[in-house]
Chain A
């Protein structure tokens, strides 16, 4: 790849393609990517995260990654029982479902070109379509509820340097099934790399999926994840995003509420450190009546950090009795902290309940003073207030052991401040 990030079609020769159709699909998408390059701020969806500029600043050249890895030992979570899936640099290594009926679970490496996301405006998805060579496919049978959560250990090895990784995941939940996933990113690389993922989530009637996205450590990774969800009637999706840590992270979630009475929840608590950049972008499409969506995004931005929330709620004309809520609250710890929020409502039905709000401000001086009169230093007082601010989200996690684990992780992040 040259410095303008143009990618040679010969790259595709290094990928094991399925058939000629697959190869053509990839070549076509590569062409689209090369025409557009990485998105810039001129593109509305990237207004606050000019990824072209960010990549240009951080990468001289990008190298496709050949799957030759040195995996250091992985610290599996011991605080609570769980099933696990181990992904290394995006490749499915192994999985273990010791608490489950294995007949109800289908898992394999994902390699399916028939993965059209119909989002050709997004050159990162084109790039992903062209080059993705790894990923996870997970399917849960109808009427099966998991006994324990799955932790997906996403490990990035220290072989990574200036690499571009593309992968695709697909998760399908059958009717009346239930699953809880903790996606836990462990980064062993000290170097910069780009991890570009597209994910497809399908929740069939009455299915329930809960996900938690968590980073184990501070790192130099650049992450982009596009999630496309389809929800059938009475299905339930709940996502907690605690993705602080990488140098850059953008989570781009688009959910279609296709069946009545489904419920889509996205909550996040982010502590954005010095020089880190995080964006959460959502689009919730209410396509039928009687669905609920709820988003609460809380972000704390330290000096030189940057946070972005772009949230859109779309309500189709027939989607009466929609109940949609969206709130972003940001706490800025320094004059050099930046937070951009763009909440949007696009409503074509008349009998709906939609609300949105966005606030950002600094830590309340009177609260700091109050805590300091009880002997706490300014730093301790701010940490306590920041913790309290983010706790509102963390407190919503129902499992005690999972919640405690996350609380500890977030506390470590805050105390690094």
Chain B
């Protein structure tokens, strides 16, 4: 699904990722853990195609190099980033945005666009699974949403857009246990042989709910250790410092 070789990324002449290697197979869930400033969010941004980074190395998605693929085409090809801080978009109706997004992706894939009635049914079903109050979907995108609602809205978008590679950037931050459980259930029910997940988190807590196949420790722009979910438990006990 995703092969990263010797990925380096710098911004404003500061190198953040310093030669990162990672391979994710279809159906796998990988977790990346690491202290503040280790480059976790940069990795998420770079994979989404965000402008402003100077990049070297290779990122291949489904066998194709992503190096020159712009943000929207990555999304259209099935890469999804759930944001750590979902942006508030004033004046834009959540449902309208979701429908535009879904139809743009469908069109790019050469699929038939969805009509309003079918779309609303789809949203209703997915929103219910995530315990999202439908009313907030007719409000402005993320404006006035609580932290939990914003994160749930990201997972709702994931469910509706149905991507192949899902990057969850600290989706657990700012969530209470109930919301964490709902969101984890939402992710777990999406797991399949065709989908891969990259779960970025500070804490082991999330990994109790979303069980990863592999855990990697990111430190100073590199993966310094990889292992199974046992590694996450070990980190929780010893902290990041011991690993260095």
Contacts and interface: CB of A to CB of B under 8 A. Distances in A.
Interface of A: 364-367, 369-378, 380, 384-385, 387-392, 395
Nearest to A389: B91
B161 interface: yes
B91 A387 contact: yes
Given A370-B87, A385-B92, A391-B92, 18 more contacts: A367-B89, A371-B89, A372-B70, A372-B71, A372-B75, A373-B49, A373-B72, A373-B74, A373-B81, A375-B75, A375-B104, A376-B101, A376-B104, A380-B100, A384-B89, A384-B92, A384-B100, A388-B91
Contacts, number: 75
Contacts of A389: 90-91
A375 B91 contact: no
Given A370-B83, A380-B104, A384-B97, A375 B89 contact: no
B184 interface: no
A392 B143 CA distance: 12
Contacts of B83: 370, 373
A244 to B, nearest CB: 17
The residue in A365, A376, A391 that gathers the most chain B C-beta atoms within 10 A of its C-beta is A376
B204 interface: no
A366 B105 CA distance: 20
B101 A367 contact: no
The residue in B71, B74, B75 that gathers the most chain A C-beta atoms within 10 A of its C-beta is B71
Contacts of A376: 72, 100-101, 104
Interface in B27-48: 48
Interface in B45-81: 48-51, 70-72, 74-76, 80-81
Nearest to B48: A373
Interface in B211-243: none
Contact of B157 (A369, A374, A380, A392): A374
A377 B48 CA distance: 14
Given A388-B140, A389-B91, A373 B100 contact: no
8 contacts: A372-B71, A372-B72, A373-B71, A373-B83, A375-B108, A378-B72, A385-B89, A391-B92
Given A384-B97, A387-B92, A388-B91, A369 B71 contact: yes
Contacts of A365: 51
